Amino acid sequence: MKSITVFQYVLSLCFFFFLSSDNIVSFAEAKRIKKKIGLLTASLPWTFGPYQAQMHQLSLLLAEEDTDAEYEYDIHWLCFGDTIPDGVYKSYKDLQPRIPKLNPPPEDFPMDHLTFLGDSDMLTQQFSASRMNTLAKKYGLDVMITLMDITKTVPDEPFNMPVLAWIPLHSDTVRPTTVDYWVLRSYHGIAGLAPSGAIAINNAVGTDKEINIPVQDGSSSGSNDSIAIYLIKKLSGTVEVEFIPHIIDRQTLTTKAKTGLKLLNSLSSVAEVDSKLTNQPLINRGQESSLEIGHNQRSIFGVDSNGNGSRKDDFIVLLQGGNYDSEDRKGWDTSLQAFVQFYNSLDESKQSSVHLLIHSMESYLIASDHNLDADAPAAVLPQGNRHHLILHEYGLPRDVYTIDIARHASEVIAAYKTRADVCLHPSKVEGFGMNVMECQAVGTPVITTNYTAMGDFTKLGRAVSPRQMIRNPGTIYEMALPDVAGVADALTELHEEHLAMKRGDKKALARRNKELTESNEWIDANFSPTKVGSSFKSLLRRTQDEYTSRMDAKQSILSSSGPPTSGSYEVASGYHLTIVDWDTPWTLIAPDGLQILDNASVHRFCWSMLLTNQGGSGVTALILPAVYEDGTPVPIMDDDGSVHNDLPVLVRTYMITALQGRASRKKSIAQMVLQNTQMPRRLPDGLAVVIRSEVAERLTL
């Protein structure tokens, strides 16, 4: 801590230079400051998907008149799912000719408060910080909010504007061995979607960290090392982290569900209800007879004027969600197994009043949303679980389940959840779990896995302990394996509660009512638009302060005696590279026998690459030219075109953490580094030698 006080002194001297212009305006005019804010998410606000819907709701909250607020936001929408040519589009009318195939927004969709920003180079897969900096500069944005998975961001350089990330964490801890850690460090504010996720993020990047840098020989007082430590801490900062969930507007949702159910009980099919609600032509792509109401005794929907329906007392289990994930993160496989196990455990007399309603959003549904609702071409194949085949193989009688793959009006989706007696949603991991929340919001119990957000958010229903953890070579996170037997037991319990309530059992009814009251209160207290809106506005303010503090630290370093001579990198070596889990911004991939002749220069170089835009922005790798002891230079490439085994390479640590998730061999990692780096820079000659005899000696041991 002593070291930092030295620097605080320097900082205080510089203070006047770093009063941001915003503050000056606020002193002078004492009124609200207008900020141009960019909202970045998957696609345009009215397209299918929870991120789009949530970002849209947030945009409305930010646009609300609020005379007490310090800031006023001028809201700009950016997205990476649809490529929109460069430009500023003030309305849908401006935008429409650029996105002719996209389904139009519903009538009355509120978007007058939005300006859309196009970017022809928008990449769909990854989003580098340098790319976002370019966009912010191009369009003069003061601050940005992102809503996307962590893995979409590449932290190649510090953000040049305050960035607040609304984040679903898909793991229960943030490990410094993963690139997630570095991505999270790069934001100034993070709204974690679940309490457990926010705690994990805060533990990793929201608290002051202990940084150990060995005091170097040659730096007499050690003050250089203190500066280095200070730098690492200050440049990465302590991120402002808070739990802010997605918005669950219970009132609106229950009203929608009522509207939907009323139509489902009176019109002749689900497809007809959708068509009526959306004012679009009727689409029927394989709608099952259980969803055809008018002329079908086995229909799930449909009650007569007496309130009688042939299936109104049946136990309906709803499985609803996206099914376009090759990792089956939603756990469709285990949920189907659990339902089959539960069904097989029932007496025949009870089996006939149990039904599984699957509403599964497939990759071809998404394709048609972006293609004016046309049926996706034959070549578009499903990416998720193959329900039809699997349920056939499990031998579940065909009339016990309905597979619905249609896109529905939001009223119909809400009505499905209300009609259901239980929502089955035991995923392997959830960052938020919109379906889990919406089911509870309409009063339907859920069955989930007690892991991440699902454990936090299961109030009405059961969170089943996972069986164990599982890993898949294709994914960076471990996930929880849902327990089929445990989920089947939970179904049995909720089925028994259902039967008791249908019998009019007073105790069962009272218990459910109490649970409903508690869960409603909990939802309104934590997830309401008002609550989310006010949390966001305050976090947004703190995010901007954190940005200012990091910029000040950088400026004070630059205006002092220059970059320190230690602390910029740590060494990784070996045939299988040392696992990288440190905080230094650079990592040296070192061959056996490497000796650094002038460490101070190497460190200074590394720091200045980071602090200034010297060498261009986002430099990710530096070749450290070395010679053997006889003076011959170490080659860069091997004869076979791979990176030479003796070549020392300095790499941004975030990049190594990304690559060590894919390989452990040094040569593979070094190869990927150079492949992923456009024009790697070279440090000056004369800084390093590789002593071959040391290598030979080691090999003969």
Ligand X SMILES: *[C@@H]1O[C@H](CO)[C@@H](O)[C@H](O)[C@H]1NC(C)=O
- 165 or 557, CB closer to ligand X? 557
- Quick one: which segment of 9-17, 188-196, 546-554, 561-569 binds ligand X (CB under 6 A)? 561-569
Q: Structure tokens of 234? A: 């200050």
Of 52 and 196, CB closest to ligand X: 196
* Segment lying near ligand X (by CB under 6 A), choices 32-40, 390-398, 504-512, 592-600: 592-600
Which H or E run includes 363? helix 363-369
> Mask: binding to ligand X, 451-490, rule CB under 6 A, as x and -?
----x--x----x---------------------------
By CB under 6 A, name the one of 23, 308, 559, 613 that touches ligand X: 308
Q: Hey, which residues between 219 and 248 contact ligand X (CB under 6 A)? A: 219, 224, 227
Side chain identity, residue 438? E
In the complex, the smallest distance separating the C-beta of residue 214 from ligand X, rounded to whole angstroms, is: 7
By rule CB under 6 A, what count of residues binds ligand X? 23
**CA–CA gap between residue 369 and residue 390 (Å, rounded):** 27
Q: How far is the CB of 464 from ligand X (least distance, A)?
A: 8
**Residues sharing a CB contact under 8 Å with residue 18, sequence separation 6 or more, in sequence order:** 548, 551, 552, 555, 556
Least distance from C-beta 480 to ligand X, angstroms?
11
Contact code string over 562-591 relative to ligand X, x by CB under 6 A = x-xxx--xxx--------------------
Q: Which is nearer to ligand X, 54 or 226 (CB)?
A: 226
* Alpha-helical segments (H) within 202-331: 223-236, 250-266, 270-278
Q: Is the dihedral of CA 281, 285, 290, 296 positive or negative?
A: positive
Which token pair is 493? 């319990």
| Closest separation in Å from C-beta 318 to ligand X | 20
336-375 positions binding ligand X, by CB under 6 A: none
Q: Count helices and strands (H / E) in the chain.
A: 24, 26
- Candidate residues 44, 75, 460, 596; the one interacting with ligand X per rule CB under 6 A: 596
With contacts defined by CB under 6 A, name the span among 26-34, 404-412, 520-528, 556-564 that binds ligand X. 556-564
Six-digit token string for 26: 């606020």
What minimum distance in Å lies between the beta carbon of 307 and ligand X?
A: 6
445 touches ligand X by CB under 6 A: no
**One of 561, 632, 675, 700 touching ligand X (CB under 6 A):** 561
CB of 60 vs ligand X, minimal distance in Å: 31
Cβ atoms < 10 Å from Cβ of 586: 26
Considering only residues 212, 306, 349, 700, which one is a binding residue for ligand X as defined by CB under 6 A? 306
DSSP class of 17: G
Distance between CA atoms of residues 595 and 120, nearest Å = 47
Q: Where are the alpha helices (DSSP H) in 242-346?
A: 250-266, 270-278, 332-345
CB of 583 to ligand X, least distance (A): 12
Closer to ligand X by Cβ: residue 218 or 615: 218
Q: How would you label 491-506 residue by residue, b for 16+ Cβ within 10 Å and e otherwise?
A: beebbebbebbbeeee
Give the shortest CB-563-to-ligand X separation in angstroms: 7
Using CA atoms, how far residue 695 sits from 579, 650, 701, in Å, is 21, 20, 10
196 binds ligand X (CB under 6 A): no
Is the Cβ of residue 162 or residue 455 nearer to ligand X in the bound state? Answer: 455
Which distant-in-sequence residues (6+ apart) come within 8 Å of 97 by Cβ? none
Q: How far is the CB of 459 from ligand X (least distance, A)?
A: 8
Cβ contact 449:259 at 8 Å = no
User: Which ranges of 179-222 does DSSP label H, i.e. alpha helix?
Assistant: 179-186, 195-201
The yes or no reply on residue 599 touching ligand X (CB under 6 A) is yes
Residue span binding ligand X (CB under 6 A) among the ranges 193-201, 283-291, 510-518, 593-601: 593-601
CB 320: neighbour CB atoms within 10 A?
23
Place of tokens 């998730």: 661
Least distance (Å) between residue 354 CB and ligand X: 19
- Determine the residue type at 538: S
Residue whose CB is less far from ligand X, 39 or 622: 622
Provide, rounded to whole angstroms, the least separation between the CB of residue 461 and ligand X. Answer: 9
Taking the least distance from each CB to ligand X, the nearer of 78 and 490 is: 490
Specify the DSSP class assigned to residue 91.
S
Q: How far is the CB of 599 from ligand X (least distance, A)?
A: 4
Partners of 167 in beta bridges: 192
d(C-alpha 385, C-alpha 389), whole Å = 9
In which region does residue 526 sit, left (phi positive, over 0), alpha (psi from -120 to 50) or beta (all else)? alpha
Which residues of the shown chain bind ligand X in the complex (CB under 6 A)?
216, 218-219, 224, 227, 306, 308, 450, 455, 458, 463, 560-562, 564-566, 569-571, 596, 599-600
